[in-house]
Amino acid sequence: MTGMYSEKVMEHFRKPKNMGKIEDADAVGTVGNPVCGDLMTIYIKIKDNKIHDIKFQTFGCAAAIATSSMITELAKGKTLDEALKITRDDVANELNGLPSIKMHCSNLAADALHKAIKNYLQKKEREK
């Protein structure tokens, strides 16, 4: 897997976008597998059914950090429906690919985003 990261991956790893916590997030999604060494939390703030703000915190390899960064970029400003349609493959493609061995373990960002959105929708449901 060495040297198989695209420049894009390394760019996002070196200078991740939207990194950190949103203290007053509307919802949070956490996924991961401690055995693989990847844990990811996505924080979202929603306004007009759109992702108004998004941040991440990630413990994991360069791929995990890059996918986290990428998903925040992809999701920002999207409607919840649009955001739910972003797939793992979309993330990998936007990063110009990931080493195949990393596709399974480290490409969790889409899952974390979906989880955050679902948590948000459930909360809204309960509030009705």
- 9-28 footprint of another protein as x/- string (CB under 8 A): -x--xx-x--xxx-------
In angstroms, the CA 88 to CA 126 distance is 29
- Nearest to residue 82, comparing CAs of 40, 57, 117, 55? 117
Q: Which of 24, 35, 48, 128 binds another protein (CB under 8 A)?
A: 35
In angstroms, the CA 54 to CA 87 distance is 17
105 is catalytic: yes
Identify which of residues 103 and 121 has a Cβ nearer to another protein in the complex: 103
Question: Which residues in 57-96 contact another protein (CB under 8 A)?
Answer: 57-62, 64-65
61 is catalytic: no
Of 39, 103, 105, 121, which one is the catalytic site residue?
105
In angstroms, the CA 38 to CA 80 distance is 25
- Nearest to residue 41, comparing CAs of 66, 61, 24, 19? 19
Of 28, 36, 62, 103, which one is the catalytic site residue?
36
Q: Which of 8, 11, 39, 78 binds another protein (CB under 8 A)?
A: 39
In angstroms, the CA 90 to CA 103 distance is 12
Identify which of residues 84 and 103 has a Cβ nearer to another protein in the complex: 103
Contact between 95 and 70 under an 8 Å Cβ cutoff? The reply is: yes
Q: Which residues bind another protein (CB under 8 A)?
A: 1-3, 10, 13-14, 16, 19-21, 30, 34-41, 56-62, 64-65, 101-102, 105
Catalytic residues: 36, 105
